């Protein structure tokens, strides 16, 4: 049994399988061809934070694959009244076939997974957002075909998305240029041991985007950090991805953002709505890659 708690839980060969299955599953969906290998399977989704894309893509995805889902919002469950996560894991995983969790500290999902009888998928923690980067990687491949020789620029907060992109750079062997305000940088432990071919830290956004094939950013204040929002607005001054910054990247550079976006903060409206922006493809691809992921975690490498 496998969990997907962070990107590096799977290897390159497994990702290549997932991407090839995503192509098939997406093609069937677009052609209205029913594909229901997960009939009678049940997905439980535990949300300790808000969500639009994650909830809709997992819920639609499991239904399209023939299965069903249950949504558990913390406040409406015994988790919200202090039931230990280990007990919740032991109970839920006796009743359903796969669990997705969105929570705060990454240790919470690790504790859940340690007690779970069924695969656990990370729908976002403070440290990682692997389903989103899975969709982003697939989107890049759809548009550009390969990561060979690619440079990706991450501008903004050294957050869960940034941490996950660092793992992606190592797995897919591309270069990640990261530029964050000093106090909001990548934690030393995450950068330690990552080869300079895969991760380089810059102090100015213009340096980080120079020659990039993809520019990506995210909100300056992630869920759970709302108390810091005022201080962050000041600290991130100068880190907005605008048209002038995009012009320093390669002319054909793509722009990505996991959404929701705060127009006028981390990205300007014109960049978000530009021809270079593939944010809506990224959002849609959450559905397709997660269907391939659930199929793989429940059925293994199939080729039907
Ligand atoms: N990108 C993403 O995970 O969006 P939601 O917070 O809406 O799920
Ligand atoms: N970094 C953001 C991503 C939201 C999908 C957050 O954690 O709030």
Q: What is the pLDDT of residues 265-304, one digit of tens each?
A: 999 999 999 999 999 999 999 999 999 999 999 999 999 8
d(CA 136, CA 279): 9
Residue nearest to ligand 2 atom 3, measured at CA: 222
pLDDT band at 163 (very low <50, low <70, confident <90, very high): very high
Beta bridge partners of 151: 175
Measure CA 211 to chain center.
Answer: 24
10-19 per-position pLDDT tens digit: 999 999 999 9
Domain with CATH 3.40.50.1370 in the chain: 7-129+285-299, 131-282
Name the residue of 45, 48, 51 to mutate for ligand 1: max ligand atoms within 8 A of Cβ: 51
Looking at 1.10.3720.10, 3.40.50.1370, 2.60.40.10, 3.40.30.10, the CATH number of the domain 7-129+285-299 comes to: 3.40.50.1370
For range 87-114, the mean pLDDT: 98
Give me the pLDDT at residue 188, please: 87
Give me the pLDDT at residue 111, please: 98
Expressed in angstroms and rounded, the spacing between residue 121 Cα and the centre of ligand 2 is 16
Q: Is 41 left (phi over 0), alpha (psi -120 to 50) or beta?
A: beta
Average pLDDT of every residue of the chain: 97
Expressed in angstroms and rounded, the spacing between residue 260 Cα and the centre of ligand 1 is 7
Residue nearest to ligand 1 atom 4, measured at CA: 53
- Please tell us whether the domain made up of 131-282 is placed in CATH 3.40.50.1370: yes
């Amino acid at each position: 049994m496998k969990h997907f708690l962070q990107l590096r839980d799977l290897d390159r060969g497994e990702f290549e399988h997932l991407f090839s299955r995503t192509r098939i599953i997406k093609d069937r969906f677009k052609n209205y061809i029913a594909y229901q290998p997960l009939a009678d399977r049940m997905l439980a989704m535990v949300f300790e934070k808000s969500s639009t894309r994650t909830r809709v893509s997992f819920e639609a995805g499991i239904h399209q694959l023939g299965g069903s889902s249950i949504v558990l919002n913390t406040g409406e469950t015994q988790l919200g009244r202090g039931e230990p996560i280990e007990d919740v894991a032991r109970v839920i995983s006796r009743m359903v076939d796969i669990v997705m969790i969105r929570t705060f500290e990454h240790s919470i999902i690790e504790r859940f997974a340690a007690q779970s009888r069924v695969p656990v998928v990370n729908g976002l923690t403070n440290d990682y957002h692997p389903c989103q980067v899975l969709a982003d990687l697939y989107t890049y491949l759809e548009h550009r075909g390969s990561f060979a020789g690619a440079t990706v620029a991450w501008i903004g907060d050294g957050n869960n998305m940034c941490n996950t992109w660092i793992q992606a750079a190592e797995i897919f062997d591309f270069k990640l240029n990261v530029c964050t305000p000093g106090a909001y940088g990548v934690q030393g432990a995450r950068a330690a041991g990552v080869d300079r071919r895969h991760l380089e830290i810059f102090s100015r956004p213009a340096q980080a985007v120079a020659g990039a094939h993809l520019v990506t950013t995210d909100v300056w204040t992630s869920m759970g950090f709302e108390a810091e929002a005022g201080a962050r607005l000041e600290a991130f001054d100068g880190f907005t991805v605008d048209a002038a910054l995009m012009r320093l990247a390669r002319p054909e550079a793509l722009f990505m953002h996991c959404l929701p976006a705060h127009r006028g903060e981390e990205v300007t409206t014109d960049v978000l709505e530009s021809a270079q922006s593939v944010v809506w493809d990224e959002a849609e691809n959450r559905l397709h890659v997660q269907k391939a992921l659930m199929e793989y975690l429940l059925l293994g490498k199939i080729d039907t």
